[in-house]
Structure 1
Amino acid sequence: MRSPVPDLLDAVLEECRDAGDDGELAGSIPELADADPERFALALCTVDGTRYAVGDAEHRFTIQSISKPFVYALALADRGYDEVLDHVGVEPSGDAFNEISLEDNGRPRNPMINIGAITTHALAGPRGATAEQSTARVLEGLSTFAGRELEVDEAVEASERETADRNLALAYLVRARGKLQDEPHDAVDGYIRQCSALVDVRDLAVMAMTLGAGGRNPVTGEQVVPAWVCRQVLSVMATCGMYDAAGDWMTTVGIPAKSGVSGGVLGALPGQVGIGAFSPRLDRFGNSVRGSRAFERLSTEMGLHLMHAPEVAAHVLYGLVEPDDDADGLREVRLQGTMHFAAAEAALRELEAVPDDGAPVVVDLSRVGSANAVGRRMLREGVERLRRDGHEVRVEDPDGVLDD
């Protein structure tokens, strides 16, 4: 059987392509203003590294601001949460990507706007790293997220340097308040080189899935950053990733995302899928018009909105076998699904309802696919409490769901 997923992506691509040619090419960077406005591509990556791509999937473009969450992740992994937070905040700015958006103490409001991203770039690498070492760490880290070595588009880099006056002004502002570790020119040069790394939509999908899989690259299997870093990055992406359109994006699309002025859009749905899209025409917020439409369609048709309530917890009980049902004298509590907090809580209520009649209890986990740390801890505690109440309890766990 041929998977229908590519056909679904093709249908989304064609429908969004036919929706019109709204938007304008990025005019702030001369090299980007010469892009082919008709290019359009879409890619997905699953948790096991399976990739689907349609449209102009081979076309490479500069990553631009999509690099920001990944460099934020590297800074968090290298310096720790407290040090990064001292230099860059996490609050939505409500401003465009290139606005002067500082708190009273001079700290940029978040790492997804330019002034925050320039500050974050200087925090990549160990304490005491030179500007050159920070930039090398960033390019190496972006490549590890993508699962292959990324090249830099030297022409775009040179073009961005010619139009870097505003970013330099922002860098000097942050440096004057003691929040930028590198010299402004060095920090901006490094940031521009970071933004000039070349990717395609499949790279974006893999990078997104790496964030959505707790930092493990689904293609290479490498743990790029710790899981707590991904939780932090995805949280900031959800509230700040699409700039002053972040609120509208979160309500309509509901996928933590980041856009770039070259026309790329990246979205990471934790534990499910990474998505990459590319189309150069931008809306007034600097987000790809067709890419945004494609994300909205995928969210609607595939139920990918982050706030879509799963039904797992409501169907945790597969069945209950009373001692007399099969004449073996055992009470069997058969559970199913994935055991996170809500599902495990529902399972504990089933165990709580076990009558104190002396019958041995079997907790059957053979239909439970997986459990996170919280689910395991809760189920173990439920079993131990049944035993302390005097029940003889046997756990059937053929797949080792309760193992660490």
Structure 2
Amino acid sequence: MKSPISDYLTEIITDARSATGGEVADYIPVLSEVDRELLGAALCTASGDLYSVGDDEHAFSIQSISKPFAYAVALEERGPEVVDARVGMEPSGEAFNDISLDEETGRPDNPMINVGAIAVTQLIGGRSASVDSRVGLLLDRFSALAGRQLSIDERVAESELAHSDYSMAMAYMLRDTGVVTDTAEHAVTSYIRQCAVLVTVRDLAVMAATLANGGIQPITGQRVFSQAVCRQVQAVMASAGMYNAAGRWMTTVGIPAKSGVAGGLLGTLPGRLGLATFSPPLDPQGNSVRGVKIFQRLSEDMGMHLMGAEPTGDTAVREVEVTDAATTIALQGPLDFNGGEAFLRAAVDCAVPSGTVVVDLARVGRVHDVGRRMILEGMRRLRGDGHRVMLRDPEGRLPGPDLGDGTRPETPDPVA
């Protein structure tokens, strides 16, 4: 059976193409050359299952999406007290390139705006670190997050450096307040090269899933960050990751997120999954128009609003039993998106030698609407693949189990 999740993501990005507004970033000349019709999306679960569609292999510069990961590196290396002394954690309510500094301390309001990110990057590697060593440390950590070796787009870095007067002004102000001790040129060069790291939406979804998974890269199993660092980074993303649109974003979408002017958009659902989209046209706040539309759809359809999360229990798939008579997939606990995805994965992976599949909901306590739809779609696809599909649901947790043609699955006898 083919999982329907990729089909669903394809449906979403097809719908998102109707959003035709926005402008491609042109303050970095190289970025203005990109094809504005490029569009991709990816989702990676905390268990390491990756789904991607569209232009999912197209590489683009990470830009400001690097900020939460650089912040995490600084927290790991220097500790929260040192980092907090240089950059705050309060939403500025300003655009990404505004110079928002605390009137008393001179430190930037948060690490998600440019002036805060410059301060954070300068902390990495210590005061004596060179640009190359600092960027090398970041690139190594970003690569560990993605699970593959990443590289820097030198053309993007050179283009941005050639138009970095405003960033230089920020760095000089930070030097004046003592937040930055390196030269302004070195601080800005480190930050710009960090922003020029090349990624795909698949990379970003896995990197986001690592934050959501408490710092353990879900595919390689490597611990990249501590759980405490991931908690702090995602909390700051929730309040400041979408700049002066952050409040409305958390109210309507409810997914901790970070955008980049190359068109990337990243989101996390703690303990559950990472999301990423790529589409170059930006709205006035600097966020991808189509990316925002996709995230809004996912939040609404899939119950992904952080404040609307329902309690989760143990692993949704209790066991998969394969006999000559039938393959039984026994589920348990509350079933939300993650539970539905676990069922679909089990249905894809398991062998069905008898041609009969029994879906057992006897130990399921509650089924979220999205979990219901995913389970039914999986059952429809199993039957479409030629299997006899049966449902054990003594408590009626799956009301109206229509298999797509008005028929319902058979009920197995007690010993099936």
Deviations 1:97-138 (A, max 9, x none): 111100011100000000000010011135643343222111
Matched residue, 1:216: 216
Matches within 5 A, 1:59-208: 59-104=58-103, 105-126=105-126, 128-208=128-208
**For 1:77 and 1:268, how far apart are their aligned partners in 2?**
19
**For 2:222 and 2:279, how far apart are their aligned partners in 1?**
30
Matched residue, 1:54: 53
Matches within 5 A, 1:363-374: none
**For 2:233 and 2:17, how far apart are their aligned partners in 1?**
31
C-alpha change, 1:309 and 1:276, in structure 2 (3 Å) is closer
Q: Structure 1 vs Structure 2: percent identity of aligned residues?
A: 54
**For 2:309 and 2:13, how far apart are their aligned partners in 1?**
27
**For 1:271 and 1:309, how far apart are their aligned partners in 2?**
11
Matched residue, 1:8: 8
Deviations 1:307-360 (A, max 9, x none): 0141459xxxxxxxxxxxxxxxxxxxxxx859xxxxxxxxxxxxxxxxxxxxxx
> 8 Å contact 2:127–2:182 — kept in the other structure?
no
**For 1:126 and 1:146, how far apart are their aligned partners in 2?**
24
Whether 2:241 is the aligned partner of 1:241: answer yes
Deviations 1:31-54 (A, max 9, x none): 001110000000000111111111
Can you give the 5+ residue segments of structure 2 that lack an aligned partner in the other structure?
A: 314-331, 335-362, 365-416
Matched residue, 1:283: 283
**Secondary structure of the residue that 2:258 maps to in structure 1?**
strand
AA of the residue aligned to 1:238: A
**For 1:158 and 1:69, how far apart are their aligned partners in 2?**
23
C-alpha change, 1:278 and 1:312, in structure 2 (3 Å) is closer
Matches within 5 A, 1:241-390: 241-312=241-312, 337=333
After TM superposition, the score normalised by the length of structure 2 is: 0.74
AA of the residue aligned to 1:25: V
AA of the residue aligned to 2:47: D
The CA RMSD over aligned residues, in Å, is: 1.7
C-alpha change, 1:240 and 1:149, in structure 2 (3 Å) is same
**Secondary structure of the residue that 1:122 maps to in structure 2?**
helix
**Secondary structure of the residue that 2:29 maps to in structure 1?**
coil
AA of the residue aligned to 1:138: L
> 8 Å contact 1:123–1:181 — kept in the other structure?
no
**For 1:49 and 1:298, how far apart are their aligned partners in 2?**
19
Can you give the 5+ residue segments of structure 1 that lack an aligned partner in the other structure?
A: 314-335, 339-366, 369-404
**Secondary structure of the residue that 1:149 maps to in structure 2?**
coil
Matched residue, 2:24: 25
AA of the residue aligned to 2:213: A
**Secondary structure of the residue that 2:307 maps to in structure 1?**
coil
Deviations 1:215-237 (A, max 9, x none): 00011111001110000000000
**Secondary structure of the residue that 2:215 maps to in structure 1?**
coil
After TM superposition, the score normalised by the length of structure 1 is: 0.76
AA of the residue aligned to 1:227: Q
> 8 Å contact 1:259–1:288 — kept in the other structure?
yes
Shift of 1:195: 0.4
**For 1:271 and 1:107, how far apart are their aligned partners in 2?**
32
Worse overlay, 141-150 or 232-241: 141-150
**For 1:40 and 1:309, how far apart are their aligned partners in 2?**
28
AA of the residue aligned to 1:176: D
Matched residue, 2:337: none
Matched residue, 2:353: none
**For 1:87 and 1:161, how far apart are their aligned partners in 2?**
24
Worse overlay, 128-137 or 198-207: 128-137
Deviations 1:345-387 (A, max 9, x none): xxxxxxxxxxxxxxxxxxxxxx89xxxxxxxxxxxxxxxxxxx
> 8 Å contact 1:161–1:192 — kept in the other structure?
yes
AA of the residue aligned to 2:24: L
Worse overlay, 165-174 or 127-136: 127-136
